[in-house]
Amino acid sequence: MRPTLAQGRLLRLMRDNPEVYLQRSQYGKTIQFSIAGNYKMRKKIRRQTGEALEKAGFIEEWSGGRTWENGYKISALGKSAIENWKDIDFEGDKHGEAKLSHRQVFSALLIAFSEKHPGWPRRYICIPELVSDQIDRRIDLFVMDCWKPYVKSSYEIKVNRSDFIKEMKSPEKRQFALSISNRFYFATPEGLISPDELPIEAGLIEVADDNTISTVVEAPYRDAIPPTWGLITKIFRSMNGDK
């Protein structure tokens, strides 16, 4: 059985960093997997990825002797599964094109932020394609959390590597998004870019083939500048369906 791209990347991380292991935790009926063993690499991973690795035998149960040191480490089968992988095999398909379109990634984000608890008002306000009132820049998706402390996040959608690489060469393009939001994310199909390719100010959201989303890298929090009245006007117009 050949691992998927996301599985292969995680196996490589565990192979190249022997101290790293996967922790499995359960809260009620919710099962979560997270990377542990190295605080710099600690993050949550998709439950489906962790369960698939366990089912395939690519990871095995492990205990380090201390009460908190227990989980899964890469198995001999997991190492052999990626033994013949080349660097390019961990980078997606040879053309760098994604399986999901811009519209599909955008729709998955909207669905995720549209969820609401019964009896509670909607938590998030989503503004698609928010355009600056001062410069020729726009944000694919601007999201405001209506719960305190009212965190504002910007999402830049990338569905092919060439577009992402081009973006990395022009950091000024995301200054507008960075200035008015507390967190900035790239939203991509699963496996399109590697977390170590991200600029320091950005986080990473991945959308799987089944349209589920996961936070691969949490974006650092920054203070945002107050919006101008011109920008507020554009937000209200967007909410009314006007450009």
Closest among 202, 206, 203, 204 to 191, alpha carbons compared:
206
- φ and ψ at residue 80, rounded to 5 degrees: -70, -25
**CA 22/CA 43 separation, integer angstroms:** 10
Q: How far is CA 176 from the centre of its chain?
A: 21
145's CB contacts (< 8 A; 6+ apart) are 123, 124, 151, 152, 153
pLDDT band at 238 (very low <50, low <70, confident <90, very high): confident
| Cβ-contact 227, 139 below 8 angstroms | no
pTM exceeds 0.85: no
Q: Taking residues 18-25, report their average pLDDT.
A: 88
Q: What is the mean pLDDT of residues 194-213?
A: 86
The more confidently predicted of residues 60 and 2 is 60
pLDDT > 70: what percent of the chain? 89
Neighbours of 166 (CB within 10 A): 12
